[in-house]
Every structure is written in C-alpha cells, then in structure tokens.
Amino acid sequence: MKKRVVSWLLVVLMLTSMLPTGVWAEDVYRSSEDTGRYGVSTLASAADAELEGFFDEWEGIATVANAATLGFVRDGDKLKSGNTARNDTYTRSTLKVTMLRAAELSFDYQLDGATQNGMEVKNGSKTLYTYSSYGSSGAEKVNGNMSDTATVQANAGDVITISYYRGYASSGSNCMWLSNFKASLPAQVIFHANDGTETTVQQGVFGSGTLQANTFKRDGYRFEGWATTPDGAMAYADKDSITITEDTDLYAVWTRVYRVAFQLTPADAQFSLYGDEARTALIAADSGTAYTLAAGTYYYSVSAFGYAAVQGSVTVSGDAQEPVVLAEKPVVTVTFAYADGKTDVDGGKLTVRTGERDMAAEEGSDGMAFRLPAGYAYDWSFRSANYGKQSGTVDLTGVSESGTRSVTIPMTAKSAWEGAGDISEPAAVDGVYQITSGSELAWLAQQVNAGVSDGTSFSAVLCNDIDLGDEAWTPIGNGTGKAYKGTFDGQGYTIRNLYVTGSTSMDYGLFGTVYGGTVRNVTVEGRVEVTSDSSRYGIAAIVGQLYGTTGGVENCLNRASVKGGQYVGGIVGYVAGGYSSDEKFIKNCGNVGDVTSKGHRAAGIAANISGQVAVENCYSTGTITGGGWYSGGISAYVDSRYASVKNCYAAGSVTGSGAGAVFGKVSYSSTVVANCYYPDTLSVGDSKAVKVTEQQLKTLDSAAALGEAFMQDAKSINGGYPILTWQITTYEVTFTVTPEDAEVRIDGAKGKQNGNVWTFRLPEGTYSYTAFAFGYADESSTIEVSGAARKDITLTPVEKRTVRFSVTPKDAGAAVTVQWNGKTVAAEQDGSYRLPDGTYTYTVRAKGYAKVSQTLEVSGDVTVPVVLELSTAWDGQTVTAPEVPAGALLPDEAAARTRTLAGYTPS
C-alpha cells in the first residue's frame, strides 16, 4: 500500500512540475458526499503533498490549493513561503482557500524580511491584511519582521487568498511561515423542508446576515417563507435579514395551489388577474394566461380592440380551465375620396390609425375604404408626391350601430417637403439625379445614408428652388463610411426652411459628411439647432464635415442661423484630412447667418481647419458667438500647415474666448494667410488680417484688395459690404472712348481698361457715368442696363491757356510739377504749360529751398509768381550724393569691410 501511494505521489509531482507558472495545483481537500454536519475530506493531489496534515481542522469547511509555482513548502510543523532563497523580486507564494460553508478561519504567521515584503490576505477583492505601505481601507498592515494570529470570517462560496509578497528590496532569506490552522463555525440556521421528510440544509451566520434563497420544492404547493415552528406563521420572507446568537431552526411555510388557465376569445385579448376586487393587486401569470393560484376568489379584466371589455371573477378550489368570451363591437365602413374627383394623384398614400394601431384597408378598395370598429376615434393622414399632406379624424366613440361614412380629402398643390416619409425617387439624366422637390432631396439623403454604392454614384443637380417646410431634416452623409462623395450642383437655386436638429454625435448640416465630394451653387435658408458637442464632428448650414483630399464647397451662401455644441460654422463645421498635393477647397462662399457655439470654435466660414484646404474669396457678415475657445469671422481655429486662406473679409460681430475679427487662432506660421480684411468698426482685432475703414471695405478701395471675385454691393443686398460676383446677375457693359487715354467712371463699380475700351459688369438698373480726359470736356450721362450694353463716346477738345511760372531767385534751379486728377501734366519745350480751364496742383522744388505746393485755378493765360525761401530741411524728394574726402569709405563699404574682418562675406 505504501509503495502504491509513493508511486502515485511521484507521478502527480512530475505532472505538476510540467504546469506553467501561475497554474494552481488541484485542491488539496475535496468534500465527499456529506455524511454529517462537518463532512469528510480526502487528499486530492500529491502535488500539494506539502500541505498534508496542516488543514485537518478545515476538513468539510474549506478546500485549499497551493500555487503550482513558488507554492508553500513544508518546514517542520510550519509551511514556508516557496519564494524564499531566490534573488528575484516581485514574487508571491499563495494559498487559495475556497469556503464550503461559513466559518471563522485562523492561522499563525511569522515574517522575516524587509518592510517591502509582507503578507496579503484577501476575501475576493476585499483586502483584509496587506504588506503595502499605502495600506488598504480597513486592512491590517503586516510586513517586515512580525508574528501574530490572523483571522478571517467567510461565507460559503467565498474564495480566500493568503500570499507572501517579496518586494524590490528583498534578499534571498526573506520568507513567511504559516501554522496552527484552526476553524470555528458560527451559529447555524437549520432550514427544514417541513414537507413530511427530514430534509434540512444549513447556513452559518456571524451574528447578523441574509438568509440564503430557499432550495426546497414541493409539488402542488407554493413556498411562502419561514416559520420558527413546524405549524407556525411565517416569520421570515425568503432571503430576509436575520440576527442570531445560537443555532436556530426555521421551517418552510407552504400553501396549497392549483393550475388555472383562462381561455380567451379573441385569443389576442389583453387579460389581467387581481387578488382583490378593487383590482389593485395584480397577479403575475406563469405564462400567457396560465396561473398558479391558491384557493380563493380572484378578479379579472379583459379587453381587445373591436370588442366590448369584460370584468369578472373566478373562485378557485382546484385545477381548472376558465373560458372568457368577448362580444364584437359594431363596425362602420368609412370610404375616402379625393376632392373634385382628382385622378392625377402621384404616389398617394392614405393612413388610418387609432392610438398605435394602423388599420388595414379593405381588399379591392385601392386603399380608400376601411372597416372600423365603433367606440374609437381614428386619425387619418394623406400624402402624395404632387399634392400637399392632409389629415383629419373620424370619431366613432359614440357610435352604437354598424353603418357607413364618407370622407372627402382636400387636394391642394404641394408647396413644401412634408417631413419623414415624404420620399420620392428623382429622375436621372446621364446618371445625374434631377432634384425638383424636398421629397426627392430626402430620397438622395436616404440612399447615401444607407451606404448604397458608397455614395459615389449620387451626383445631382437642383432644378428649382425647394422648400423643406421647416421639417426635421436628416443630413446627407453620415460619417466617413457613409459620406456623400458625388457632386451636388444647386445651379444657383435656394433651399428654404431647412431645419436640422439632433443631440447624437454626428455631422450636421444640409450635408452631414462630404468625403471627396463637391457642393456648389446653392443658397440655404432656415435654421440648424444641434445640442451635440462631440469634438470629432462638425455642425454647419452647408456641410458639417468636409473630409478627404479633394472636392469642396464653392459658390454657396448661408442665410440660416446655426447653433451647436462645438465646431460650428456657417459654411463648414469641421475640415479634416488631406496632406497631399490634391486640392480641397472652400471658395467663393458667403455667410450672412448668425453662428453660435455653446462650446468651442464658432466661425462664419469654417469653424475648425485641421487638414489641407484652400479657402479663397469668402466673406462673413453674420454675428459669431463663441462659448469657449476661439471664434472668428472666417475661421475659429486653423490648425494645419497645409491650409491657405486668401482674399477674405469678415464684417460681423465676433465674441467669445479667444475671439478674432477674421481668425480665432492660426497655429502655424507656414499657414498661408493673404489679403484678409476686417472693418475698423469691429470691437475685436486680428493680427493675421488687415484692418481697413468701413468705407474702404465697402468700396473695394485699393487698401482692401479682395480681387475680381468680389464686387460692390450696388443693390444693398449685403448691408453695403462687397458681394461675390455670382450672387447677383450682371451684364457686360462696354464703353469705347476717344481719345484713347480717356477714363470712364461709374459710381459703385470698378471697370477694366484695355486700350480705349472700358468694360464693367453691372446688375440690371440705371447708372450714371462720366468720361473724361485731359484737354477734353467731360461727358456725363446715364445708361440703362437690362442686358449686355455697348456705348461709344468721343470727347470734345477744349481751349487751352498758357501758364508760366516765375520763380525767384531765378538761379535756384527750380523744378516745377503740375498735376491734374492725380496725373502729371507735361510742360512745353519752353517750360510753360498749356492747360484747359480747371483746377490744378503745382509743386516747386529747389535744392536748399523750402518746397512750395499750391492749388491753381486756370481760367485764362497767366504767369504764376513763386518766391522760394532758404531751408535746410529735406524737401521729401531730392536725393544728392555727399562729397567724400579722399581715402574715406562710404558707409556701405565700411560695413562690408567690418563684416569681412569678422569672418562674414556678404552675398
């Protein structure tokens, strides 16, 4: 027998040595079938032979497992940590104790080591003893050199770990010994099945605790709770709280019950069963309408659509099947018809419902007749592609007899989109969808957002102005995976009454996400009101997020108000992606809507730019209100080395933290910013842009060089500030003038000169012009513009006067300059001037004399006397090289020699 045991131990030890680090050995003790209150345990694994004999008092109470690696080893009458006599650190020796029943465990411990080492005892995740200097709430600290007795109270099913931890400063001899493993049981609750058998189960309770769930079952009876005597009343509910100081007997309380099933007609009727006549104590069914009930009287309520409701009662004294039959209500047949006998209804859909129940039309009625049970009010609604939505109510609540009714549906031409459900597929020409209504635009959004053909095949054109009816709009494109990737051309039309709202994290706008696609030539009116403030998404009227390396937004105007959490823009909310040579753009766009962000970054054109994009020829006159970091008239935050912003202006009020008239912040000096302006009327400035006067900006003065994409606001459609040339229809007006150097001026317009031809682009209207040239009479008149126009002008020469200048002193070497309309007039060979009547400016300069500059009115031949006065002041123009003594160096030469001597040679 001894040889067999030894052989068995050797085999198991060999197998255990093959386990990977951290694997637990089999439990040392396993409970066999219960043979009494304390049970019996048997040795389970020779791998834990080191533990044999140490845990006899824990038999039937707990099982113990030793860690397969660095486990505890026998050391005389003690267990010693297995991570002793090692030079490595941060190791553990651990015992795992699994509780079979509630008990208080105790053991002695002795530590020999540094304070970085010590004992850790945990019950599940709760630390009871700790080696850590930082401790753990409620845990006792055990480290360094200590010895004492540890106690642990645990319930059945708890897992206790006892470890010795070696820290970073451990020496090889540091260790922990364990011994004297004891166990004591708390007071026991003995649960009696009380069903005529002697079956019991036990639970240990340390003073106060919660009763374990009942595990007894008794056919035909329902468990109610626990009594303190076999025939007593219930004293404790299942899983109730209890406090005991000694062993306590509890007896199951049972109630005789029966199976009762209610059979309903109709089968889908709603059935409720109650334990009281007031119908407040609802009883839960076992399943469907089957119940387990004690003897007594019960009350039910039954209802079904189209049937009269019933209330009744049933007395239970045994198993039963109880039928409940409801009576049908009267039925009214309601027939709908289109007003005026309309037969051209496109895609008409009639819906009739009561509450949440949709009613089905009668077969063969083309969806126009319905059999409706009396006793209810029915709401109906009608939609079609070409007629406006209609709705109404058929009230049958007071009807008690079957019959018929007729309803006429008013027919009015459809003028606006009618919201979700109003969807119709547009026609396509050469693969380009022709959008003529809000329902067709909604179809485009539906297809793109469903991920059909990854959004690349949905190029579209707007064929007319459309009205979105202030209905909640779902943006076209949702995230980069379902983004819009086609080309949308608004063809100069307007989308009115856009309403975008939402609170989830996504991109918001007419378009949500555009990835490599292009949106152009569209104006948007309405409102965007979003509460989402996710930092990865954009909110704007036109495009929420512009992503990718190509595509963009051009020739778009926003008139909508835009409100959101953060990254809120008039044209684009968030620009991302693109660090290549491909072009992504926002150009020729304007924002006149107010933009508000309750969080970070609000701007008129693009709130946040973090990728490559060229922003050109854009403006914003709307009010920009930022709630957090950065706000700007054009962009709140330009955080890209690859972005450029050119030929833009902002004239609306900008407020918020880090507000700038044009930019909130430009992160990189390599970002190209050129020809960006703002008027001096704004309360905030901008170091990245140029401040000009309001008048300079409105008149496109040379101080505000915005370029040819802009024109003056002659029609005052933008508060007088410059507009983009595409915003208003203009016609080419050409003047051919003689002489060739003549000029043509029209108030509020800038023309181009090519030889003797002047060209203007003017909106429809009447304009005053003046043509003038030196030596000729001005010609002023008006021109009517309603289309392209052309006018030839020949100016008439005028009589000239001889004007001479008599300068004193005569030997001063004076130079005389005469100017007319900012241009210098050439003198005759004898120094005199031939000047028509008019106003001129002359200037006389001479070295050593003060400059003389005066206005001259010419109405006849005249000699103008000029007396010069000596002066050492520079006249602002004359330049004369100084006299240099022989051998001296000029300043530049001296500086050059100094740099050369210092080791630097100028290029």
What are 189's two structure tokens?
Answer: 């609750």
User: Which class would CATH give 331-409?
Assistant: mainly beta
Please compute the mean of the pLDDT values over residues 832-847 and round it to a whole number. Answer: 95
Percent of the chain whose pLDDT exceeds 90 = 76
- Separation CA 618–CA 166 (nearest Å): 69
pLDDT tens per residue across span 166-181: 887 666 688 999 999 9
What is the model's pTM?
A: 0.59
pLDDT at 509 over 50: yes
pLDDT score for 874: 66
Lowest mean pLDDT among 91-105, 762-776, 875-889: 875-889
What is the structure's pLDDT at 886? Answer: 56
Residue range(s) of every CATH 2.60.40.10 domain in the chain: 729-794
Is 352 buried (19+), middle (13-18) or exposed (0-12) by CB count in 10 A?
A: buried
Using alpha carbons only, give the angle 139, 145, 149 rounded to the nearest 5 degrees: 55
pLDDT higher than threshold 70 for residue 379: yes
Tens-digit pLDDT profile for residues 522-564:
999 999 999 866 666 899 999 999 999 999 999 999 999 999 9
Single-letter code of the amino acid located at 302: V
Residues of the chain with CATH 2.60.40.4270: 187-256
Which pair of tokens denotes residue 498?
A: 């856009």
Unique residue bearing structure tokens 């009871």: 128
Residue of 808, 827, 813, 807 lying closest to 878 (CA atoms): 813
pLDDT greater than 60 at residue 571: yes
CATH class of the region 427-711: mainly beta
Half-sphere exposure of 23 (CA within 13 A, CB side): 10
- Which distant-in-sequence residues (6+ apart) come within 8 Å of 155 by Cβ? 99, 102, 204, 209
User: Count of alpha carbons within 13 Å of 729, Cβ hemisphere only?
Assistant: 8
**Fold entry, domain 729-794:** Immunoglobulin-like (2.60.40)
Q: How confident is the model at residue 39 (pLDDT cuts 50, 70, 90)?
A: very low
Report pLDDT digits (tens) over 619-656: 999 999 998 899 999 999 999 998 999 999 999 999 99
Q: Which tokens sit at 803?
A: 């004007």
Tell me the C-alpha distance between 218 and 810, whole Å.
Answer: 139
The band of 875, judged by pLDDT with boundaries at 50, 70 and 90, is: low
Q: What is the mean pLDDT of residues 828-856?
A: 95
Distance from C-alpha of 10 to C-alpha of 356, rounded to nearest angstrom = 74
Distance of alpha carbon 568 from alpha carbon 625, whole angstroms:
10
Q: How confident is the model at residue 577 (pLDDT cuts 50, 70, 90)?
A: confident
Asked if 52 contacts 45 with a C-beta cutoff of 8 angstroms, the reply is no
Share of the chain residues as helix, strand and coil, in percent rounded to the nearest 5: 10, 50, 45
CATH of 799-907, picked from 2.60.40, 1.10.238, 2.40.160, 1.10.3470, is 2.60.40
Q: Which class is 187-256 in CATH?
A: mainly beta
d(C-alpha 591, C-alpha 606), whole Å: 10
Q: What percentage of the chain exceeds 70 in pLDDT?
A: 89
With tokens 């050109």, the residue in question is 616
Provide the pLDDT for residue 176.
95
CA separation (Å) from 206 to 1, 39, 182, 878? Answer: 44, 20, 17, 110
What is the secondary structure of 47-81 as a DSSP string?
A: GGGGGTTT-GGGTTTEEEEEBSSS--EEETTEEE-
- Domain at 257-325: CATH code: 2.60.40
